[in-house]
Amino acid sequence: MENISFKAFVTKELEANKFERSIETRQINDLSVGDVLIEVFFSALNYKDALSARGHKGISKNYPHTPGIDASGIVAESNSPDFKIGQEVLVTGYDLGMNTDGGFAEYIRVPASWVVPLPENMSLREAMIWGTSGFTAAISINELQRHDVSPDKGSILVTGATGGVSTLAIGMLKKAGYTVVASTGKSDQKEMLIKLGADEVIDRADVDDHSERPLLRGRWAGVLDSIGGSTLSSVIRSTQLHGAVCCFGNVAGDALATSVYPFLLRGITLIGIDSAEKEMDYRLNIWKRISEEWKFDNINDYVKEVDLEGLNNEIDIMLEGGQVGKVIVNLKK
């Protein structure tokens, strides 16, 4: 393919710990090495992207850099027999947007082993509404089911309920037949969470117990936690007999203070949810479930769509903790 120009969102390091974000023109030949060149139609904003855009070297080591751990589009060039020019595909996770040029650009080049054919019953835009957030939520629900936490066992608590993963998890859990309790510090979003599928909305303080009691009253059959810290400690201690707690975030801290008693006396299972490196067979199965049995109708009500120029402001909102729902990036806007 000729060395054409394209637009990309780029974070540059001006000097030590000082970074600048801008829209730049890049060349195809500047992209990372890979088997498949993809013309990107949509991407999505995740917290990891916001950190990379801010200059977090624990996420992206080298700058200038284009973030974007999610992308959907069509194959523009392929050295792999598994993918044909014009095929609709998506990429989430792996090293995309971390140290490999990410989805906040009109083109990406990646290894063929990272590429997922777009599921049937899903558009390129919908794929990015789900993206890594929906994939993470779906893995969590799959884990609940794998550990025999079925809807008849009791309610499922979703913490940090207005975040990207959690909002999608609420709708998916409801579609799967669960009773959902959403906890949030944003009381003004209660109506949105109810419409999304939450049966009950409670304040985040109601699930954050600072006592030193090793066990609390059992309240939930399962938990999807994006908060970490003392909230994670509290929900472990308040999960019912043989329940499961899925952990996929640490916005309140990475330390975990607990005892062995929830595990010994109640048989609680604590499950760490990793989404970036899932093997392809597992990945394809989860995407199939997202596109079929867990796909809920009103997902578009909780999506904000921006172009590359509007991305900078959304990153700032996310870093300040003010983002609600899902932000997707339209590269064709």
Do residue 268 and residue 164 come from a single domain?
Answer: yes
pTM of the model: 0.94
Measure the N-to-C terminal CA separation of the chain; round to a whole number of Å: 24
Alpha carbon 75 to its chain's center: 23
Token pair of 201, please? 């909305």
Do residue 264 and residue 145 come from a single domain?
Answer: yes
Using one digit for the tens of pLDDT, what is the confidence trace for 217-265?
Answer: 999 999 999 999 999 999 999 999 999 999 999 888 889 999 999 999 9
Q: Would residue 214 count as lying in a domain? A: yes
Closest by Cα among 92, 35, 15, 26 to 65: 26
Q: CB-based contacts of 129: which residues, under 8 Å, 6+ apart?
A: 44, 299, 300, 303, 326, 328
Domain span holding position 149? 132-272
Rounded-to-integer distance, Cα 282 and Cα 90, Å: 15
Do residue 142 and residue 111 come from a single domain?
Answer: no
* Number of domains the chain contains: 2
CATH number of the domain that residue 174 is part of = 3.40.50.720
Reply yes or no on whether the pLDDT at 1 is more than 80: no
CATH number of the domain that residue 326 is part of = 3.90.180.10
Do residue 110 and residue 26 come from a single domain?
Answer: yes
Q: Would residue 287 count as lying in a domain? A: no
Decide which of 225, 256, 272 is a domain's last residue: 272
Reply yes or no on whether the pLDDT at 212 is more than 90: no
Reply yes or no on whether the pLDDT at 208 is more than 90: yes
Residue 240 near residue 221, CB atoms below 8 Å: yes
Using one digit for the tens of pLDDT, what is the confidence trace for 7-64?
Answer: 999 999 998 889 999 999 999 999 989 999 999 999 999 999 999 999 999 999 999 9
Token pair of 46, please? 């995740």
Token pair of 207, please? 């699930």
- Which residue in the block uniquely carries the two structure tokens 């499950």? 271
Do residue 204 and residue 233 come from a single domain?
Answer: yes
- pLDDT band with cut points at 50, 70 and 90 for residue 135: very high
pLDDT at residue number 251? 82
Do residue 52 and residue 86 come from a single domain?
Answer: yes
Closest by Cα among 127, 323, 160, 124 to 246: 160
Rounded-to-integer distance, Cα 76 and Cα 28, Å: 11
Q: What angle do CA 130, 166, 45 make, to 5 degrees?
A: 50
Do residue 28 and residue 137 come from a single domain?
Answer: no
Using one digit for the tens of pLDDT, what is the confidence trace for 50-97?
Answer: 999 999 999 999 999 999 999 999 999 999 999 999 999 999 999 999
Q: Would residue 293 count as lying in a domain? A: no
Residue type, 100: T
Do residue 222 and residue 310 come from a single domain?
Answer: no
